[in-house]
Chain A
Amino acid sequence: KAGVTQTPRYLIKTRGQQVTLSCSPISGHRSVSWYQQTPGQGLQFLFEYFSETQRNKGNFPGRFSGRQFSNSRSEMNVSTLELGDSALYLCASSTLAAGGKVQYFGPGTRLTVT
């Protein structure tokens, strides 16, 4: 099976612009979660989608939004970019196993805001 893919891998944007990141989960996985990783804050949960519905949301401002399509692919949008939004954005698709929820991460999108 192909793993989780994220596009683009690298992105440079200017303050005030908006950006859309894409994630294709592992085939058959219906749950997709998004995380922000920074050196200072570590890995922080943004939101989770399951069957096109947002199931859970982290503590991020409304500038961060997402959606999921019927084929389980997901997009994340950040509007009015700020310097502090520079981070590695990780997508994870998940499934349930005997030991609980198992997440498989993509390689991430490195976003730099200048």
Chain B
Amino acid sequence: TQLLEQSPQFLSIQEGENLTVYCNSSSVFSSLQWYRQEPGEGPVLLVTVVTGGEVKKLKRLTFQFGDARKDSSLHITAAQPGDTGLYLCAGFGNQFYFGTGTSLTVIP
């Protein structure tokens, strides 16, 4: 049973396009994190959001935490090949629960 569902599962886009990845749950989390994982490596933390409705920007990446702290979105503007990777959301309750993952491929 996955507490966090991500959509889409796979995404292949051209360089320069915009995209949004969604992370949804029926559970409330005290915080939510987004990670990017590249082949052969462990996930790397991108951002932590804590407050409902919070929006954080990291260069071309915009992260939003839902008002009820049950869901989150990651928006990438003008995607670049370097953005390619597996994006994972993780909600923290008494432990970290990871989402199902979104595999992003940005084609030059």
Among the 9-residue stretches A67-75, A77-85, A96-104, the one with 4 or more Cβ atoms under 8 Å from chain B is A96-104
Contacts of B33 in A (CB 8 A): 103
Contacts of A106 in B (CB 8 A): 42
- Is the contact region of chain A dominated by helix, strand, or loop, or is it mixed? strand
Q: Within residues 46 to 82 of chain A, which ones have a CB less than 8 A from any CB in chain B?
A: 48, 56, 58
B: interface residue count bin: 20 to 34
Q: Which of B30, B42, B48, B50 contacts A92 (CB 8 A)?
A: B42
Count contacts on A: residues with CB < 8 A to the other chain. Answer: 23
Closest chain B CB from A84 CB (angstroms): 17
A-B contacts, 11 listed (Cβ < 8 Å): A42-B98, A42-B99, A45-B95, A56-B95, A92-B42, A100-B31, A100-B50, A101-B92, A104-B45, A105-B44, A108-B42
Chain A: which residue is nearest B42 at the CB level?
A: A105
With an 8 A cutoff between CB atoms, is A112 at the interface? no
Q: Within residues 32 to 49 of chain A, which ones have a CB less than 8 A from any CB in chain B?
A: 33, 35, 42-45, 48
On B, residues with C-beta under 8 Å from A are: 2, 30-31, 33, 35, 40-45, 48-50, 88, 90, 92, 94-101
Known pairs A42-B88, A43-B43, A106-B42. 7 more at Cβ < 8 A? A43-B88, A45-B98, A58-B95, A90-B42, A101-B31, A104-B45, A108-B42
On A, residues with C-beta under 8 Å from B are: 4, 33, 35, 42-45, 48, 56, 58, 90, 92, 97, 99-108
